[in-house]
Amino acid sequence: MSWKKELFHILRTPPLLEEPMSRHTSIGIGGPAECLVFPETCDELRKVLELVKQFSLPFFVLGAGTNLLVRDGGIRGIVLSLSSLCSGYQFSGRTVYAGAAVPLPVLVRKSIERNLQGLEFAAGIPGSIGGALYMNAGAYGSSIGELVLQVETMDYSGNLKVRTRKELDFSYRWSTFQQEKIIILGGLFQLSPGNGAELKELVRKNQRERRSKQPLLPSAGSIFRNPPGMAAGKIIENMGVKGLMAGGAMVSPEHANFIVNVKNATASDVLSLIEVIQKKVRSELKIDLELEIKIVGENSRE
């Protein structure tokens, strides 16, 4: 039996074949995933991983797709969504356990409703808990790694593990997970008592500030990491490329470290803008801008 047929036997939710990733990324770009799966139990997930091993399939873990550029040829093999397996959260005293698929803004809102503080910096970050842990998402001088007590993972052999803060490293947009083949299933976070009304007001203020500085058009968040002591947005702005277009993609006039999908942009459009920016910054300032977004998939499909 082919691996795709087997997936239909294994999974209660039928996998989506040749599913356009443009439907699963915030920038609205991306060729098809050969097979997008939504396991409902750890047992189903293990069986998916067994097939990955047996057929040597490429395997990619998708979060909310908000820091992701999928190339136009799409992603071969299996793309995993945890939306049917890891979408619950539970508060206990001053801690909260949240599954990997829980949207960060939802967890922020629920924490504030309980007068718990710590997560409010993340109100405007549209990713999932899994993606936030993987990227160590942050804003306003705080990042999610600082709140972590434990992270629950499954390796590609199907082994579950609970890892404590001591066993994990987090730094600027980086976590231990980026050097491992691992599926993040959820995290336990330490919060502290706060004043709900004040926290709500702080979130509103931050949101207003974001709306005034960031584009409203679809994007994948910051394209480049900030070089030490510098803001990538400012560097790019000084190159005079705000508003520059390639096909349907544009360097945002609001924030130069964002590339927006103006109309039917392709991944190649975005990649060519990235190249223009990197070349300009390298030749004029001798700075190599590193990518913050993750670029996956293939340029074309035979």
Ligand X SMILES: Cc1cc2nc3c(=O)[nH]c(=O)nc-3n(C[C@H](O)[C@H](O)[C@H](O)COP(=O)(O)OP(=O)(O)OC[C@H]3O[C@@H](n4cnc5c(N)ncnc54)[C@H](O)[C@@H]3O)c2cc1C
Q: Does 145 bind ligand X (CB under 6 A)?
A: no
CB 122 within 8 A of CB 192: no
Which one, 108 or 183, has the nearer CB to ligand X?
A: 183
Q: Determine the Cα–Cα distance for residues 24 and 30; give it in Å rounded to an integer.
A: 8
Q: Determine the Cα–Cα distance for residues 2 and 123; give it in Å rounded to an integer.
A: 43
Q: Binding mask 6-45 vs ligand X (x if CB under 6 A, - otherwise)?
A: --------------------x-------------------
- Select the residue interacting with ligand X from 31, 126, 187, 297 (CB under 6 A): 126
- Select the residue interacting with ligand X from 97, 134, 189, 224 (CB under 6 A): 134
- Binding segment (CB under 6 A) for ligand X, from list 34-42, 55-63, 232-240, 243-251: 55-63
Q: Does 154 bind ligand X (CB under 6 A)?
A: no
- Select the residue interacting with ligand X from 11, 64, 75, 191 (CB under 6 A): 64
- Select the residue interacting with ligand X from 29, 61, 270, 274 (CB under 6 A): 61
Q: 250-274 burial, b if ≥16 CB within 10 A, otherwise e?
A: bbbebbbbbbbbbeebbbbbbbebb
Minimum separation from the CB atom of position 108 to ligand X (A): 12
Whose tokens are 């990324």? That residue is: 25
Output DSSP code: residue 15.
Answer: P
Q: Does 62 bind ligand X (CB under 6 A)?
A: yes
The secondary element (H helix, E strand) that includes residue 160 is: strand 160-164
Q: Determine the Cα–Cα distance for residues 120 and 148; give it in Å rounded to an integer.
A: 15
Q: Does 186 bind ligand X (CB under 6 A)?
A: no
- Catalogue the active-site residues: 173, 222, 292
Q: Does 130 bind ligand X (CB under 6 A)?
A: yes
CB 102 within 8 A of CB 115: no
Q: Determine the Cα–Cα distance for residues 149 and 168; give it in Å rounded to an integer.
A: 10
**Interacting residues toward ligand X by CB under 6 A:** 26, 60-68, 82, 100, 125-128, 130-132, 134-135, 137-139, 177, 183-184, 214, 219-221, 294
